[in-house]
Structure 1
Amino acid sequence: MSQSPTTFYSASAGSGKTYTLAQDYLTLLFKNSYSNGYRKILAVTFTNKAVGEMKERILEYLYKFTFEELEDSVTGIAAHIQQESGLNSEEFRKKAQAIFNQLLHDYSAFDIVTIDSFNHRILRTFAKDIDLPDNFEVELDSKRLISKAIHNLIARAGKDKKLTQLLVDFSLSKIEEGKSWDIEYDLQDIAKLILNENHYPYLKQLKDKEVEDFLRFRESLYKKINTTQKQLTETAKALVELSQNSNIDPTDFKGGSRSIFNTVIKVAGEDFSVGLETASVRDLIAGDLYPKGKSQDIKDRIDQMAGEIQSFAVQYKENMGAVLFYKNIASSLTPLSLLNELLHEIDQIKINEQIVPIYEFNALLAEQIKDEPAPFIYERLGERYRHYFIDEFQDTSRMQWENLSPLIENELQQQRENQERGSLMLVGDAKQSIYRFRGGDADQFLKLLATPDLFMLPKKEETLAFNWRSYDHIIDFNNQFFDSYGDHLSSDVYKTLYKKYLKQETRSKEGGFIQIDFIEKDFEAPYEEDDYASVYPYHVHQQVLKAQASGFSLGEICVLVRANKDGHEIAKYLVSQDMRVVSGDSLLVHASHKVQLLVSLIKMIQAPEQQQPRLEFLMAYTKVFQLEDIHSFVTAHLHESLQTLGGKLMGWEEEDLGSAFAKAALFQATEHVAESLGLFKEQDTRLQSFMEFLFEYSTGYEVSLSGFIEHWELKMDKLSVPAAADADAVQIMTIHKSKGLEFPVVIVPHCDKKLDEARNPTGWVEVNEVEYEGFDQVYISLKKENEHYPELAPEVYAQHLAKAEMDQINTLYVAFTRAREQLYISAIETNSKTACYASLLMDFVQNKGIELTAENGFKTVEIGDLARKSEVTKPEQSEMLEEYKVHLDKERLTISTRRGLLWASGASEAIQKGNVLHEYLSLIQFSTDYEEVSHKIDRDFSLSKKEQSEMKEMISSVIYHPDLTAYYKDGVKVLNEQPILLPSGSKLIPDRVVIVGDYAVVIDYKTGAVLNKHKSQVNEYADLLESMDIKVAEKVLVYTDTLEIVKWNG
């Protein structure tokens, strides 16, 4: 690793970023004199997936370093580490073994974490300082919180007079704009500002404002508008009168019947609709007032008033620019005042529920630690890190960096007795910054790159030049296309980025294929049904067929889209053509007909007198069981009683649906119905996910039918199951979700976006608070007319345009660089001179002199070799889900009755106590689950208060035991009570197996005395895992009565 305390890695797509991170991390470990050097390293990234990949990669390398003979895959990195550390081969191997073993036993100190989890750790230490409850919970579901706050806000209507007036005004303004009067959607939209920390400093200032402040400000703006327009009207009237007195007809001016003087006449009549960039306004300002053919007499008369006309035109442009500015501000004041009220509602919910929303982490920390010395923060944390790694730095927000930098600066500027200095490694690529809407700040990364030092210390910059992912034709195309694209950016900084940090070298992977299709405007796709909004679904299908014909399977193809609706339409068409598809929609739990059946059933039970839920239930039933005569079925059952429905559809003789839900808990009743309908006969991941969701609701909330329906409708849009890695199906996902992934074949349709396109952009403009009723920042919509506004609005708009262009090019860069071997691009042909994806692609093709082939409504360019060059690999097989087990009420009753005997006298005491303990320990994946399990024990009314307390204490003693904490740390893969199938058909079930990379730790819980047969049992589990090619690194017996821990290898 570089001797410079700070190293910046500029890591373009496919450049081996994870490898470089792992190499530098491991180099630090091996250079450390001790085997626990990881305790002095903090590595942060942005997703749990990235954390898992990084940890797995480091542990995999360490494990392979322990081999007597190194595998080819690690010889390069091993040689680098040996050279940097000065260790010979045997010393290196022994050091690897020591680090590996130490890390396994001290896994909780392996601090590769998400930035949110690190912030959470700091926040916990400052909880009392910022008046947070000791047991506060992190609210991950921002949508739930905001929806509840909006509901509470609207509920105040009619009680709070000023708020009621605000809501009415907002509804009326929407009606005047031709929109729906329903304001909930608009409140949801404005509430998105809360989630983006870029808006935090502005919203913080607004919190001090009252409703009256907003109303007073709006009134003052309307006064300014009226005063300004009145002055313009009076000036225009004077000019019209002057022209009449001078016997000048409007048609004497340039334009004739469309006289430029009509602008003056319109303003005199209080018509201010003339645009500020119209030809008439330009001519009036320029003094170009009459055609050359006019008589000299008329010219002279017009010239006599030319100065006043020009003065008016300049005044009109400036003053109407101000008027438009005031109107823009005024239109946002009502939503902002409601947002301010919404913030107060959220604060109240936070207090009532003792929660901290995750989106507040950065802001809370910034407020707390900004004036604290770094050593104090370290003292609170109980840690002192020497070395820092920050991954995906281009997505780091300004506030996140400001929170981390004091810790880093403090360490880098200290020199230890052994002359060792701390270090910082930043890895990023501003070209892949596509999360600005979440607060990501690529400009911050670019500014740090441009400075010669950091914290007054020298820094080193390295560019990872090689692309290890893609074939050379793909790399060359991306190099050339984005180099030409960069010329169209308005920002010199962003131009430099795409010139200096774009070009990548190839790594002898010859081949690759690119196809660009320009679809003719009048091309009509041969759809059987006229329900597709564009030609892209048809065209994507043709591209998939072509990729298949060249040797790729469906599972190796990914379609990348900008919007979910585009992906949905493409998925729908591919399915209609008998192609298997995996998309966000297909993985959503609520897309399952079985789930729809159960949800509509719960709605029907909750409101049996309503027809709509019953109709939804019957329709879902016809889809689940594929009934053909839908009309007859629905008609026959629509008006039947719940008892009759239960008998006919469920096969119940004595039960009816209503009583089933009245007698049993919601989860058990739903499970009973699903079992009666035979829904569990086939494995169904979405149905199992729904049942888990229902169970979690039943154990974590105050249960009611209406409460569950509300909870479901709030969560359903995000509840999904992960796609199987071996699914032979076309993947469809958004470009944003594809970041960090790669695919053999990538298809990118809908390349029609404008370079500066953004959805309803907005921004904040700094103003003089004296002139703007105490407001020093105003919120406006960003649009072209901003260029004529006063204050700093034109500058804000220009910055927005530059960043919007950057967003567009970065999004396309991420999409194109996901491809390993084939890349298909398509756009609607355009002759527009407006800079957009399609026009830039066409310019690129024409400038390179590449020939276009026109056929069947398409103009096509092909670059490279269509034939597959890579080896065909067999995908890994996913584990099959076990059959869903339904526990009958009698079984539950038996377990509950046994619990009542716990801690009683008798020979079965230890067995019964162990059974219950095992049951609750099986619910613990990670130590962070303890709080939830503790709540479940508190609600287990078959146990006395004393028994509940003892049970919680026993579980806590196990999972927080110093010798066991590593096995309950977030980030490891855990299998609790998972059966291992033997050739004979019987099963063995270890209590807990922890898997990290290619090795496992087997853990079994025991009560009573230490017996040799316990070891034999665990050895048998381990032998079975070894036979499945899972290396067992350690075996552990935990005696829960005495907390004796027995560990062994071999």
Structure 2
Amino acid sequence: MKRLKLCKASAGSGKTYQLALNYITLLLGERREDGTWRLLDGSGRMRHREILAITFTNKATEEMKRRIVRELAVLAGNPGTNDSDSSYRDTLMETYGLRPDESARLRNAARKALSELLYDFNGFNVSTIDAFFQSVLRSFAYEADLTGNYDLELDNKSAIEQGIAETLAEAIRPSDRPTPAGRWLEIYMTAKIDNGEAFNVLNADSSLRTSLKRFVDNLTGEDYQHNKQAIDGFLDNTDAVVTLERELSARHKALRDEIRAKAIRLSKEGIHFIESGIQKTIAEWTSGTSRLTEAKARKIVSRKVFVAASNERAKADKAGWQAFCTEEKADEIVDFLQTCVDHATVGVLLSQFYNFGIFGEIIKQVKALTSENNTILLSETNTLLRDIIGDSLSPFIYERTGLRLHHFLIDEFQDTSRLQWENLRPLVMESLDNLNDNLIIGDVKQCIYRFRNSDPDLLNSDLQADPGLSGRIILDDRSTNYRSSAEVVEFNNNLFEKAGATTGNSSVYSTARQMIRRNAPHGYVDICGWTSAEFTSEALARMIDHIKRQLDPRQGGYRQSDIAILVWSNSEAAMIIRYLLDTGRKQPGLENIHVVSDEAMLIGSSTAVQRILTSLRRAVNTPQPQTEDIRKYTPVTQRQLEWLAEEFERQRQDMDDPFSALSDIISTFKNSSPPDEPQSDSRGKDLFTLTEIIAGNLPDDLKRSDSVYISAFQDLVLEYSSLASADIYSFLAWWDSTGRKRAISSAPSVDAIRVMTIHKSKGLEFPCVHIPLVHGSLVKEEDVRWYDATAAFQSVGITCPTPSVLPIRSSESLAITPFAAQYEELCRKSLLDNLNMLYVAFTRAANELIVSCNPTKNAASAAEKERNKARVISNALGIDCKADESGKIFWQHTSGEPTANRQVKEIPESGNDRPGHCDMPAYQAMFRPELMPDSHVDTDPDDC
């Protein structure tokens, strides 16, 4: 019997509604053997303990819990509610086969279920997949060689940064013999120098240090976890590493000499009958070295290495051409080209080998630190569970965890990683074997978290191809959009259906077309593309014009909180915020605009918090990082003002010119350390107590205005003190690397324009959405990735032991090597991810969608030009993106008319109500586990 409902739901089709409906259906009833449902009238079943709902984020977890409780309260007819107001009531009555006069049965069942759930709230199993796996791992701590009180490090980057610091410290530590860390660091820095790049990795604030952190973070994902044993085993064998490096170096030199000898031999006679590009390569190798292009490498397969018979050179000496262009000569030229390919392959392996060595040294330090602190990284959880559980039967897992789960409801399945599914699959299979109902819901088009190891292929194809699930899946495609206006839905239908086809992603975007809901309001779409040296400023000015119209009570009449501006990165967000506050406020009608963003809600953006940090730095004499302006956050104190006045009076008496006296005083103040307020003595005080004392000494008005930030900062201090060394030095180092990125969730009631990254907009909706900076390529694949290197090592004749995978920087130069297919697959995934980003951004709009695009003229290649986001959009819309006589490109597409603010009533069929909000102050919801155990301080996935 089919018991697994696979729901593929596009944007705005009510995924949250479906998940909550399925949960409540399972909570209140059960399925009969004939497939029909019956309502359970009795209490005492505690059915909520048997259901696990898995969401992707902590915020989604809280929203789901809140929604289920709210709907149960409405169905139960609690005071102040009416069960007829529930968008679930009619569906549940029909599902359970209840007559209209039996509504009291549903009301009583909901009341009993709600009572049981609230009195046993710890058994209310709605959590993120990471939280669920952590609860399982705690039960298997012994098998994982962990003590029961181990700590979980949520921030991999913090652990990596500590690992890098320890590696560099070991590399420069005086020693009788060179250390492996020192040797790899020398190779790493030498490679940077050879490439003309910054090389001082010892500077903690350098871009190279940041690049190194990102490099290691990229390599610690699931590809590493899958090959961890083989990678670590090879890196631990120092002799094998050294031998491989030496053999690669020797092979690279031998191939270089071999190519040159072959080039000299080929150049002696008949070279003018060889195809021009190859002829040039031969000539260059004869005198030095040359780089083989992809076009030339293709000649190996096609064997088109000679000029055609119609070529003037062939006509001039037909007999010579026929004598030279033989199969034997073609073999010789192809062999030359293949040797060039082998040389390029070894060059890639050798030039990237230092990545392998430096990564290994850093990972060793990370392991040592986590072991010393009895900590595991969040990224290791899935691997540990896979190694421990393996193919264990579900009853064994349940026996250890104390759980007995019958039903699994998995939301945002497109964001699930393969390792996560491998660990979850045995539990789902056991549930299906016992004829229990389960739900998997997601949308491949909204997979934008591949950098967190999400694997959209699971939802797109693998589930239905799984032999164990054959005949058990019920497909449920949700195709009605309950969010957006008719014009927005139709525009996105046309755009993404065609864009999916033109970019080779038809299998993903075949479900892009949605139905428009009944009585959908009219909307407005305005998308414009042009080329200009001043594109950014022009696009922002265009955005401001639309915002003025939308906020004008005589035109749009929207509130500021109805408007969202979506961007690709934090740097774009910061730039747009500055523009809105500096330039936008000068526009008539926009004098009072306000902006809310995660950047504005950074805990470290508070003046009070900056003053606390300054006091802590002074207490330990720790210099402020060069990237911060310490004086910006260090106001002049009362004592310093008194000193300034006294000095001015003293010097004015000695000088005839009071302005000269004032100038001297200001210069002295800037370049010296004038007296300050007495500092708190840090001796004998723990970190938290010291911050409380410093905060207590702040001016009363500052304490009142920044109270939320101060409380959030103290919670951070308390959290850090419970997990790591609680000394000031360590905390300040952690703050500079990690803590400064922590933010307070902005209050939902603030009437302000929202500026956020597309990643953070996922799952949200706004009446008016602006996307002012659509530019660049859909393909961005240039990071260091794990490549399968077995075939490459074999192709170039390396005989010593080699690793199965190697970290290699993705670039077009891989196109002529055995890594070409893997590189093309990574580019395909990058294109899909960025197309999905466009889809997520464009489907956030309810009423109005305003977009500005930049179709770059000067692309490096035709392929790059066609991958430009603006050109993909214009091509999908059927717009000719050609330049005019002046060389400029301009096009515009509009549909509908500018709208006015309207209160759109909730459509009962959709269940698409706006997310509820907790009235609790945001900072309390972040670090008060006794109040909200699944909440957290937002960290930024879009730090670019």
User: Is residue 2:528 matched to residue 1:517?
Assistant: yes
Distance 1:763 1:285, change over 3 A: farther
Superposed, which structure 2 residues align to 1:373-772 within 5 Å?
373-414=393-434, 421-448=435-462, 450-451=464-465, 454-490=468-504, 494-522=505-533, 524=534, 535-549=538-552, 550-576=556-582, 577-578=584-585, 579-607=593-621, 617-622=630-635, 635-638=667-670, 644-646=675-677, 656-657=678-679, 660-662=681-683, 667=688, 670-674=691-695, 675-678=697-700, 679-694=702-717, 696-697=719-720, 702-760=725-783, 762-767=785-790, 772=798
Distance (whole Å) between structure 2 residues aligned to residue 370 and residue 883 of structure 1: 40
SS of the residue aligned with 1:680? helix
Q: Deviations over 1:932-956 (max 9, x none)?
A: xxxxxxxxxxxxxxxxxxxxxxxxx
SS of the residue aligned with 2:807? strand
Aligned partner (choices 331, 345, 350) of residue 325 of structure 1 = 345
Q: Which residue of 1 aligns with 2:874?
A: 842
User: Is residue 2:65 matched to residue 1:55?
Assistant: yes
Aligned partner (choices 307, 313, 327) of residue 288 of structure 1 = 307
Q: Deviations over 1:373-418 (max 9, x none)?
A: 222112112222111111111111111111011111122113xxxx
Q: Give 1:969 shift.
A: 7.6
SS of the residue aligned with 2:827? helix
1:780 alignment partner AA: I
Q: Which residue of 1 aligns with 2:655?
A: none
Distance 1:565 1:639, change over 3 A: closer
CA RMSD of aligned residues (A): 3.8
Q: Which residue of 2 aligns with 1:794?
A: 820
Paired residues, what number?
851
2:803 alignment partner AA: F
User: Is residue 2:83 matched to residue 1:83?
Assistant: no
User: Is residue 2:233 matched to residue 1:208?
Assistant: yes
Tell me if the contact between 2:74 and 2:86 (Cα under 8 Å) persists in the aligned partners: no
User: Is residue 2:135 matched to residue 1:121?
Assistant: yes
TM-score, length basis structure 2 = 0.82
Tell me if the contact between 2:790 and 2:805 (Cα under 8 Å) persists in the aligned partners: yes
Superposed, which structure 2 residues align to 1:6-45 within 5 Å?
6-32=4-30, 33=40, 34-35=42-43, 36-45=46-55
User: Is residue 2:211 matched to residue 1:179?
Assistant: no
Distance 1:862 1:386, change over 3 A: same
Distance 1:706 1:728, change over 3 A: same
Q: Give 1:284 shift.
A: 8.2
Q: Which residue of 2 aligns with 1:804?
A: 830
Q: Which residue of 2 aligns with 1:957?
A: none
Q: Which residue of 1 aligns with 2:255?
A: 228
- Greater Cα shift, 54-63 or 858-867: 858-867
Distance (whole Å) between structure 1 residues aligned to residue 687 and residue 823 of structure 2: 54
Distance (whole Å) between structure 2 residues aligned to residue 607 and residue 388 of structure 1: 54
Distance 1:185 1:313, change over 3 A: farther
Q: Which residue of 2 aligns with 1:219?
A: 246
Distance (whole Å) between structure 1 residues aligned to residue 625 and residue 5 of structure 2: 63
Q: Deviations over 1:528-572 (max 9, x none)?
A: xxxxx7644434333322332322222111111111111111111
Distance (whole Å) between structure 1 residues aligned to residue 727 and residue 402 of structure 2: 44
- Greater Cα shift, 50-59 or 774-783: 774-783
Distance (whole Å) between structure 2 residues aligned to residue 198 and residue 882 of structure 1: 36
Q: Give 1:281 shift.
A: 6.5
Q: Deviations over 1:621-668 (max 9, x none)?
A: 3599999999877634346667x322xxxxxxxxx33x6445866555
Distance (whole Å) between structure 2 residues aligned to residue 374 and residue 700 of structure 1: 33
Q: Give 1:370 shift.
A: 0.8
Tell me if the contact between 1:597 and 1:617 (Cα under 8 Å) persists in the aligned partners: no
Distance (whole Å) between structure 2 residues aligned to residue 473 and residue 442 of structure 1: 29
Give unmatched runs, 5+ long, in structure 2: 31-39, 202-208, 586-592, 645-658, 860-864, 906-913, 937-944
Distance (whole Å) between structure 1 residues aligned to residue 50 and residue 771 of structure 2: 44
SS of the residue aligned with 2:806? strand
Q: Which residue of 1 aligns with 2:654?
A: none
1:824 alignment partner AA: I
Q: Which residue of 1 aligns with 2:649?
A: none
SS of the residue aligned with 1:469? coil
1:342 alignment partner AA: I
- Greater Cα shift, 507-516 or 622-631: 622-631
Q: Which residue of 1 aligns with 2:287?
A: 269
Distance (whole Å) between structure 1 residues aligned to residue 575 and residue 567 of structure 2: 11
Tell me if the contact between 1:666 and 1:705 (Cα under 8 Å) persists in the aligned partners: yes
Q: Which residue of 1 aligns with 2:206?
A: none
1:164 alignment partner AA: G
Q: Deviations over 1:967-1008 (max 9, x none)?
A: x783599xxxxxxxxxxxxxxxxxxxxxxxxxxxxxxxxxxx
Distance (whole Å) between structure 2 residues aligned to residue 483 and residue 834 of structure 1: 17
Q: Give 1:254 shift.
A: 6.9
Q: Which residue of 1 aligns with 2:74?
A: 64
2:837 alignment partner AA: T
1:442 alignment partner AA: P
Give runs of ≥4 in structure 1 deviating > 6 Å. Answer: 252-255, 279-284, 610-615, 623-633, 872-884
Distance (whole Å) between structure 1 residues aligned to residue 229 and residue 711 of structure 2: 43
SS of the residue aligned with 1:241? coil
SS of the residue aligned with 1:191? helix
Q: Which residue of 1 aligns with 2:648?
A: none
Superposed, which structure 2 residues align to 1:298-337 within 5 Å?
298-307=317-326, 310-337=330-357
Distance 1:677 1:452, change over 3 A: closer
Tell me if the contact between 1:603 and 1:613 (Cα under 8 Å) persists in the aligned partners: no
Distance (whole Å) between structure 1 residues aligned to residue 840 and residue 55 of structure 2: 18
Q: Deviations over 1:419-458 (max 9, x none)?
A: xx21221001000011111110001111145449753443
Q: Which residue of 2 aligns with 1:1034?
A: none
Distance 1:636 1:294, change over 3 A: closer
Q: Give 1:697 shift.
A: 4.8
SS of the residue aligned with 2:738? helix
Distance (whole Å) between structure 2 residues aligned to residue 143 and residue 432 of structure 1: 25
Distance (whole Å) between structure 2 residues aligned to residue 423 and residue 534 of structure 1: 54
Distance 1:452 1:777, change over 3 A: closer
Larger radius of gyration: 1
SS of the residue aligned with 1:277? helix
Q: Give 1:592 shift.
A: 2.6
Q: Deviations over 1:300-334 (max 9, x none)?
A: 22332223553344234333223222222222221
Tell me if the contact between 1:449 and 1:461 (Cα under 8 Å) persists in the aligned partners: no
Q: Which residue of 2 aligns with 1:155?
A: 169
Q: Give 1:606 shift.
A: 2.3
Tell me if the contact between 1:537 and 1:569 (Cα under 8 Å) persists in the aligned partners: no
Q: Deviations over 1:183-221 (max 9, x none)?
A: 333431221135422332233311012333233222222
Give unmatched runs, 5+ long, in structure 1: 415-420, 526-532, 647-655, 885-921, 928-967, 974-1050
Q: Give 1:615 shift.
A: 11
Q: Deviations over 1:1013-1032 (max 9, x none)?
A: xxxxxxxxxxxxxxxxxxxx
SS of the residue aligned with 2:352? helix
Superposed, which structure 2 residues align to 1:240-251 within 5 Å?
240-243=267-270, 250=272
User: Is residue 2:847 matched to residue 1:824?
Assistant: no
1:863 alignment partner AA: S
Between the aligned residues of both structures, percent identity stands at: 25
Distance 1:137 1:299, change over 3 A: same
Q: Which has the higher contact order (CA 8 A, sep 6+)?
A: 2
Aligned partner (choices 364, 371, 379) of residue 384 of structure 2 = 364
Q: Which residue of 2 aligns with 1:950?
A: none
Distance (whole Å) between structure 1 residues aligned to residue 845 and residue 628 of structure 2: 46
Distance 1:27 1:750, change over 3 A: same
Q: Give 1:693 shift.
A: 3.1
